Amino acid sequence: MYVYEVTVGGSLSKGREFAEMPYVPGGPDEGDTFIAHSGAERPIGERGGVPDGLKIDTAGRVFSTGPGGCWVWEPDGEFLGVIETPELPANVGWGGADFKTLYLTWRTSVYSLRVKTPGTPIPGMPAATK
């Protein structure tokens, strides 16, 4: 992943690498497993994935789905870890009236979890209602 400065005119400059999320193919052999970040054994089909659904919390931490779950980095690019998920996630987003609900989508499901630091709302989005 790369970050850029955006000029007043909207052009990009000073690009630099922010973080790396290696592509890991899932593998074709059903029944094979791999060892996840936590040490848990998981089906090989859950290992694959690429960055998607990039979101930021109010502390500047970056959240992106990818191999094995939702990857999290500090604003300076320091890797914090992976929120492991029961399936290969496809996207991530913030919700709830206080933006402290992290939603993760899969091919067949939507999961949510509460977090301590609220997500950054997208400018112009209406406030959530109960």
Q: How many angstroms separate the Cα of 76 from the Cα of each of 16, 35, 60, 79?
A: 12, 28, 9, 9
Task: Look up the CATH number of the domain holding residue 35.
Answer: 2.120.10.30
Task: Evaluate if residue 129 carries a pLDDT over 50.
Answer: no
Q: Which is it for the CA torsion 103, 104, 109, 113, positive or negative?
A: negative
In a domain, 104, yes or no: yes
| Mean pLDDT over the full length of the chain | 83
Q: Reduce the DSSP state of residue 44 to 3 states and report it.
A: helix
In a domain, 97, yes or no: yes
By C-alpha distance, which of 65, 61, 31, 73 is closest to 48? 65
In a domain, 125, yes or no: no
In a domain, 64, yes or no: yes
Predicted TM-score of the model (pTM): 0.77
Query: Which domain range does residue 60 map to?
Result: 2-114
Number of domains in the chain: 1
In a domain, 40, yes or no: yes
pLDDT higher at 20 or 26: 20
In a domain, 90, yes or no: yes
In a domain, 121, yes or no: no
Contact 11, 5 (CB under 8 A): no
In a domain, 119, yes or no: no
What is the arithmetic mean of pLDDT over 14-25?
Answer: 80
pLDDT higher at 126 or 64: 64
For the stretch 57-101, pLDDT in tens is 999 999 999 887 899 999 999 999 989 887 778 899 999 999 999
